[in-house]
Amino acid sequence: MTSIQPRSQPVKAVACYNRHVIPSCARLLACLLTLAGPLLLLCACSKPRSGVTAITHVTVIDANGAPPLADSTVVVSVSRISAVGPASSVAIPSGAEVLDGTGKFLIPGLADMHLHLTGAGEPTGSREFFLPLLVANGVTTVRDMGGRVDLLKELRSEIRAGRRLGPQIFFTGPYLDGNPPSFQPSIVVQTEA
C-alpha cells in the first residue's frame, strides 16, 4: 500500500509560455479567418426562399373521417395549402423548400378554445415560452377566455406582422366578476337587490 507524503515545500502556481507560440497562433488564426471569410460570406448569401414548401411522402389525416392518405405530398404557398395528393402526381414548384415526411403524419392545426395568455402579470411568459410551445405542438388557433385586452391586442399584432411566432388569437375581453373580484383584470358587475 502506498501512502501519500506531505510536501516539504509549498507548490507555486507558475504561468509559463513560449514567446514564439502566441505570434504563430495569431498567424494561424489570421490565415483561417482569411480563408473562412469568403466561405462564410457565400453561406450567408444563399438564395432567398420562394415562400413555397412541399412536404413529401407524408401520411395525411384530414380529420373529416376519411382514411389516412399515405405517401402524399402537400404544397404550401405563402401560408396556404395549394395542393394535396399522391406523391407521384403532385408537382413540386421549382425553388420550393422540400421536407421529407417519410414515416410522419400531417394533421390540420389544432385549436385551444380555453386559455389565458395574460394572467398573473403576463404576457412575458406567453411571448417567450407559451406561444412557441403551442405552435410546436400543432396549436394554430387559440381563444383567450379572459385577460388584458391591451396586451392581447399587442400579442395578436406581433404574430400577424410576423415579428413573433404564435397561433392565431381570438379573445373575449376581461373577466366579468362580482365584488370583490376573484381575478384581475376583471370588470366588477353589481346588481342592486
Q: What is the 3-state secondary structure (H, E, C) of 132-175?
A: HHHHHCCEEEEEECCCCHHHHHHHHHHHHCCCCCCCEEEECCCE
pTM of the model: 0.63
Asked whether residue 163 carries a pLDDT value surpassing 60, the answer given is yes
What cell was used for 115? 386559455
Predicted local confidence at residue 193, as pLDDT: 60
In angstroms, the CA 83 to CA 74 distance is 6
Residues 66-117 have pLDDT tens digits of: 999 999 999 999 878 999 999 999 999 999 999 999 999 999 999 999 988 8
The pLDDT score that the predictor gives to residue 177 is: 86
Give the C-alpha separation, 65 to 84, whole Å.
17
Q: Measured on CA atoms in the order 76, 77, 81, 83, is the torsion positive or negative?
A: negative
What is the pLDDT at residue 125?
64
Question: Domain 52-106: which topology?
Answer: Urease, subunit C; domain 1 (2.30.40)
CATH superfamily of 110-177: Amidohydrolase (3.30.110.90)
d(CA 30, CA 116): 54
Confidence of residue 16 (pLDDT cuts 50, 70, 90): very low
Per-residue pLDDT band for 176 (boundaries 50, 70, 90) equals confident
CA 191 – CA 193 distance, rounded (Å): 6
Domain range annotation of the chain:
52-106, 110-177
